[in-house]
Every structure is written in C-alpha cells, then in structure tokens.
Amino acid sequence: MNKILFNVAAINICTTAEGPHKRLAIWFQGCNIKCTGCCNPHFQSIEPKNIMTFEELVSLIFQSILENNIEGITYLGGEPTLQSNLSFLSESVQEMGLGVIMFTGKEISDIHPELLKGIDLVIDGKFDQNLPDQRNLIGSSNQRIIHLTERYKQDGGWFSKMRPKKVEVNVLDGGIIFSGDVL
Ligand code: SF4
C-alpha cells in the first residue's frame, strides 16, 4: 500500500495561539494563491520540505494528547487543501475525539468536498491587505468563519479580539514561529 504523505513546513505541538483551547498546529508547505502581504511567504514555495507520513503525524498528535491534553488541531499554511491526503488525517483526528480547524486562502465553494471531511471549522478566503481586520488571527475582513459542525459554535469569542504576538517553536527543526496579531 502507498504511504500517506504530507508536506509539512512546521508544527507546534501545543499552542493556545492558533485557535480556541490547547491545540497542535500544523503549517503545510506550498501555496499557489500568492496573496500580496502574505504573513508566511517562506511557506509558499511548492517543494518538498518535511515529508511526513500519516503515522508520524498521528504519533505527534497522540504525544500531545498525553502530554498536553490538547482539544484539537489547526491546519495553516501554506495552503492546506493542496495536501491531497488531508481527509485521512482530519477524519482520524476526529475519530480520536479532537476538533479540526482549517485556515485556507480558498473560498470554501472552491474546495473539493472530500478535502473538507473531518473538519469542524474553516476560516476561508484570500488575504486582502486592503481590508484590515480586528479579529484574532484573521487577516482581512473578507475572510469568513464557517462552522461545518457544532463543535466550535460556542467559541466564537476567541476570534473576536486580537491577542499579543507570541513566539512559538517548530518541533521539526527548533525554528521560531510568530503567531498572534499585535506586538
Ligand atoms: S493563502 Fe495564506 S499562505 Fe497562501 S499566499 Fe495567501 S496568506 Fe500566504
């Protein structure tokens, strides 16, 4: 059987900066949307970065459940929907009882439904630097919060206010990841 692979730019094994509750955050490598003013331009290039198997990712998620009692995971990018095996991971994570949040530069109507399986909440749309936004972690006012399940409907307040910028650590290489909205 072929291995189920993902092209990963960075992982924070436990964070409170990438969505409500404690989460494991995965930044995927590669984006073909190329928004002007992208906050992660180094994740745009479509080339192999850290090629990880499904089993390796699930193992890190289990580790964080045991060590940190995470509530869910967040996909960021890069563009997560370029990962053709995304639903394998999302549905497995959902079966573990965790929630899945995805930030995408595409509008949800342009995403194949297969790629949305197992996802609870989507923040969609291209970043537009001419439409600044006051919501936490959401770059421009055209981007929408779309609930695909009931799971995060009580957590809307998390996105309603900006939080301080945080320095986080990429467990894959020890590099620094900045998150949050203000200095
Ligand atoms: S979709 Fe996201 S990663 Fe891609 S260019 Fe836009 S802001 Fe950057």
Domain-by-domain residue ranges, the chain?
A: 5-179
Residue having the nearest C-alpha atom to atom 3 of ligand 1: 78
Q: Is the peptide bond before 19 cis (omega within 30 degrees of 0)?
A: no
> Are 75 and 28 contacting, i.e. CB atoms less than 8 angstroms apart?
yes
Tokens of 70: 């995470």
The amino acid at residue 78 is: G
Tell which one of 8, 28, 40 to mutate to probe ligand 1, the residue whose CB is within 8 A of the most ligand atoms.
Answer: 40
What is the distance in A from the centroid of ligand 1 to the CA of 153?
A: 25
Q: Ligand 1, atom 2: nearest CA belongs to which residue? A: 105
- Whole-angstrom CA distances from 131 to 149, 156, 166 are 28, 21, 23
Tell me the pLDDT of the chain (183 aa) as tens digits: 679 999 999 999 999 989 999 999 999 999 999 899 898 899 999 999 999 999 999 999 999 999 999 999 999 989 999 999 999 999 999 999 999 999 999 999 999 999 999 999 999 999 999 998 888 888 889 999 999 999 999 998 888 877 777 778 888 888 887 776 654
- Please compute, for residue 14, the number of CA atoms within 13 A of its CA located in the half-sphere on the CB side: 11
User: What superfamily would CATH give domain 5-179?
Assistant: Aldolase class I (3.20.20.70)
- Asked if 114 contacts 85 with a C-beta cutoff of 8 angstroms, the reply is no
Q: Whose CA is nearest to atom 8 of ligand 1?
A: 38
